[in-house]
Amino acid sequence: MDLNIISCNNFIKLKGVLNKNNVGIFQAELLKAYKKYNALTISIEELQTVDRFGVNALADFHTKSLRDNKELSIVGLGCKALYEHFKANEAMA
C-alpha cells in the first residue's frame, strides 16, 4: 500500500505505509506546512507501518520543532515503532 498524505491547513493525516520509498515525499509535504504554520498536528491513526526511515523523519521534525520553538503533535493510535522510539528517548532524557 502507498502513503496517502491529506493536508488541511496545519493538520496532516497519514494513511498507508511510510517507508524508505516515500519518506522524501512525506518530508517535502511536512516541510511546506512547517514553514507556513507555528503548530502542526500529524495524525497517524491510519498509518499501517513505518520503517526506520519514517521514524527518523518524524523524529527529525520533532527535534526541529523543539529547536525552532514550534508545536508538533502526533496523534492517533498508530504504529508501535513510533511510540517505542519516542518512549525510549523520553526515558533517556
List of residues 6+ apart from 4 with CB closer than 8 A = 14, 15, 16
For 27-59, what is each residue's pLDDT tens digit? Answer: 999 999 999 999 999 999 999 888 889 989 999
For 59-87, what is each residue's pLDDT tens digit? Answer: 999 999 999 999 999 898 766 666 666 66
Tell me the CA end-to-end span of the chain in Å, nearest whole number: 35
Q: Which residue ranges make up each domain of the chain?
A: 3-91
Classify domain 3-91 at the CATH superfamily level.
STAS domain (3.30.750.24)
pTM: 0.80
